[in-house]
Amino acid sequence: MIPDPDEAPVRVLVHELFAEHGKIKRVARILNERGYRTRRGAAFTDTTIARLLEDPTAKGVHRVNYTRTDDRKGAWVHKPESEWVYQSVPAIISDELWDRCASRQKQIAPGRGAVHLFAGFAYCACGQKMYVWANSPKYICSACRNKIPVDDLEEVFRAQLSQFLLSPSEIAAHAQAASEAVREKEALVQSVEADLKKASGESDKLYALYMADGITKEEFARAHRPVVERRSQLEDELPRLEAELDFLKIGIVSREAALSDARDLASRWGSLPFPEKRQIIETITDRVVIGKGEVDITLLYTPSAIPAGKATHAQGFIAATSWKRAG
């Protein structure tokens, strides 16, 4: 087992950020804001960060035989510590950094407070975010008092999960649309690179002309200024485009994974532990809009019906579900 050259720097960063900030949530937010994604291409969640911080592989100690699947629930649980087996692997972080993280972790109060499944995703039809208040298990809109019981919303989502799934041919069409978006972006990167080369060429030509006394110093300055401006714009643009391209490529992988997993997930939903449910919601959901007796779930991926090139936008598609109020 050797460190993955792409993943190792991110794992180091997770530890460094945690040692600095001491908050799992903040580490997840910073990584996501900087465009980092997990190995599967998903956004970092609290659970992912907690798991990475807990995993001693980073300091060169690889644990094996330390988890098993719960037979009844299918969930992932720790085995007794006495059964764990350790292997020595190349370390990617220092003992000092590991210890600093461990000491910061001790400062965190136990029981980090459960997040509600749809926290941050639940919106009222009136546009307000909906929150679960401490005294009742309902998402409530503070503006218009619209509400939905947490269990009802979860059931609507679960019931829709299987319908979110597209057929294999639709998934293939989606992948094609996404890869066309990648090709477009790649072409854009190439054209910016070509423009940049051209601008350098113009710059060189002007300079040669000036050196050969073909133009005056003032003429050189006047002609050269726009070329310099153009170059600096392109030089700013290029890294941004390259980052967007990476983001598109990562997005394809993560959505494909979510799509192919979803069929299975719909049937297993009831037995999934909270963090997994939350991660699924975070991976595929754009927003959930709760109306009067109706729930609209907008996903982050687009169906093949939407033309290529738009596949990267988060228009999603809407699964409108009638939801009968119980009582």
Contacting positions for Zn ion (CB under 5 A): 124, 126, 128, 141, 143-144, 146
Q: Closest CB to Zn ion among 143 and 318?
A: 143
Least Cβ distance, residue 131 to Zn ion (angstroms): 11
Least Cβ distance, residue 101 to Zn ion (angstroms): 42
Q: Closest CB to Zn ion among 124 and 192?
A: 124
Least Cβ distance, residue 128 to Zn ion (angstroms): 5
What tokens does 301 get?
A: 């991926």
Least Cβ distance, residue 93 to Zn ion (angstroms): 47
3-state SS string for the chain? CCCCCCCHHHHHHHHHHHHHHCCHHHHHHHHHHCCCCCCCCCCCCHHHHHHHHHCHHHHCEEEECCEEECCCCCCEEECCHHHCEEEECCCCCCHHHHHHHHHHHHCCCCCCCCCCCCCCCEEECCCCEEEECCCCCEEEECCCCCEEEHHHHHHHHHHHHHHHCCCHHHHHHHHHHHHHHHHHHHHHHHHHHHHHHHHHHHHHHHHHHHHCCCCCHHHHHHHHHHHHHHHHHHHHHHHHHHHHHHHHHHHHHHHHHHHHHHHHHHHHHHHCCHHHHHHHHHHHEEEEEECCCEEEEEECCCCCCCCCCCCCCCCCCEEEEECCCCC
Least Cβ distance, residue 123 to Zn ion (angstroms): 9
Q: Closest CB to Zn ion among 124 and 161?
A: 124
Q: Closest CB to Zn ion among 56 and 291?
A: 291
Q: Closest CB to Zn ion among 123 and 269?
A: 123
Least Cβ distance, residue 147 to Zn ion (angstroms): 9
Q: Closest CB to Zn ion among 44 and 139?
A: 139
Least Cβ distance, residue 159 to Zn ion (angstroms): 23
Q: Closest CB to Zn ion among 12 and 150?
A: 150
